Amino acid sequence: MNITLSQAEKIISVAKAKSIEIDTKMNIAVVDAGANLVAFGRMDGAWLGSLDISIKKAKTARYFDMNTGIIGGLSQPGGSLYNIEHSNNGLITFPGGVPIKNAAGDIIGAIGVSGSSVENDHTVAEAGASAI
């Protein structure tokens, strides 16, 4: 199963609405089950440097089928995934990447959000991921 463009656009719309609600500007990326970019939105005024980060957060969440913040906890010195961020042409291991599941619970893609605090990034990503 793969996420559709229509679903990805809805996810971006919901994530954008959440960003507006919490008064922040975000870069929002949605990838499919193969970690390929399906849709991207950069809100007016969102940081340019966060563009790549949002895409890498989405890919990281899909590569490992877990929230990027969880991976971050496991990748600290002494952790079981220490230095994993250097694999796969660079991963992002702090909050803001969330797998996306269909109604049956299958992972069909992931969302990555960047442009604010990691807490805000995660809040917006969670809102987007729950849109379908």
- Residue 66 DSSP symbol: S
Q: Mean pLDDT, the chain, as a whole number?
A: 96
Q: What is the pTM of this model?
A: 0.95
Query: Could you tell me the CATH number of the domain that includes residue 67?
Result: 3.30.450.150
Average pLDDT rounded to a whole number, residues 107-132: 97
pLDDT-derived band of residue 1, with 50, 70 and 90 as boundaries?
Answer: confident
The residue type at 77: P
Sheet containing 27-32: which strands, arranged edge to edge? 37-42, 27-32, 107-114, 97-101
Range of the domain at 69: 5-129
What is the mean pLDDT of the segment spanning 101-113? Answer: 97
- List, in sequence order, the alpha helices (H) in 22-112: 49-64, 68-74
Domain count, the chain: 1
pLDDT of residue 47: 96
CB 100 within 8 A of CB 75: no
